[in-house]
Amino acid sequence: MKVLVIEDEKKIAAFVRKGLEAQGCVVDVAHRGDEGYTLATTRPYDVLVLDIMLPGRDGLSILRSLRDRKVPLPVLLLTARSELNERLDGLNLGADDYLTKPFFIEELVARLHAITRRASGATQSILAVADLTVNLLTREVKRGGAGIELTPREFALLEYLMRSPGRVLTRVQICERVWSYDFDPGTNLVEVYIQRLRKKVDGPAAVKLIETIRGVGYRLQTPP
């Protein structure tokens, strides 16, 4: 997932970023409401984690504007435990879910997965191409029934490829999706991680799934 977090409390924002990145998510953080609103309306994200009390522009104002503009971005509100009216206002304005502070990062991750699945209309938790399967809930990866151990970033890259089998993805698209917008355009991160995935996913397999399209990018082949 590519997640935007708008949270002015820097300790909470850092806690959320660290927890989500440990799960392979790409996370952008804004500490002011106006800055966060600009990001939410100009860059693609899978989900928004939105605090209600923010400097510059409050969370409910951001949510109202997003829904007025028909921005379909799923939104999870972060609220104080005692503020029932704010939670109700947020849900009535179009928030998809809320979580009260303090919270466990595991619950936040589970809720984000749930609302992004609902938003995309996806009900299955397993992606499959040929004999390669990825379980999005347990994060298990198998090729021909044999388990494959991936790092969080390798998992994120493979998931991105598997969500668009047959589609050529450019280096820039991969960097923006799997890393962030703050990447060095001259970096060879994509090539390094593609090589790692090839060793683990294709390895000795007779059918190679990860294909390089010279001068363009990469794709996951769908064998006939």
> Cα separation of 223 and 152, whole Å?
26
Residue 136 DSSP SS3: coil
Average pLDDT over residues 113-128: 72
Q: Inform me whether the pLDDT recorded for 83 exceeds 80.
A: no
Distance separating the N- and C-terminal Cα atoms of the chain: 29
Mean pLDDT of the chain: 86
Q: DSSP letter at 110?
A: H
12-21, 171-180, 195-204, 212-221: which has the minimum mean pLDDT? Answer: 171-180
> Which pLDDT score, from 0 to 100, does residue 47 have?
92
Q: What sign does the CA torsion over 139, 144, 121, 1 have?
A: positive
Give the mean pLDDT of 75-82. 82
% of the chain at pLDDT higher than 70: 93
In the chain, the domains with their CATH numbers are 2-120 (3.40.50.2300), 126-220 (1.10.10.10)
CA distances from 35 to 32, 100, 218 (A): 5, 23, 33
Tens of pLDDT along 145-184? 899 999 888 988 998 898 888 889 988 888 877 876 566 6
Query: Residue 106: is its pLDDT beyond 90?
Result: no
- Stated as kind and residue range, the H or E segment containing 88 is helix 84-93
So what's the pLDDT on residue 190? 87
The whole-angstrom separation of Cα 27 and Cα 67 is 22
Q: How confident is the model at residue 33 (pLDDT cuts 50, 70, 90)?
A: very high
Strand positions, DSSP E, the chain: 2-6, 26-30, 47-51, 75-80, 97-101, 126-129, 132-135, 141-143, 146-148, 169-170, 210-213, 217-220
In percent, the amount of the chain with pLDDT more than 90 equals: 40
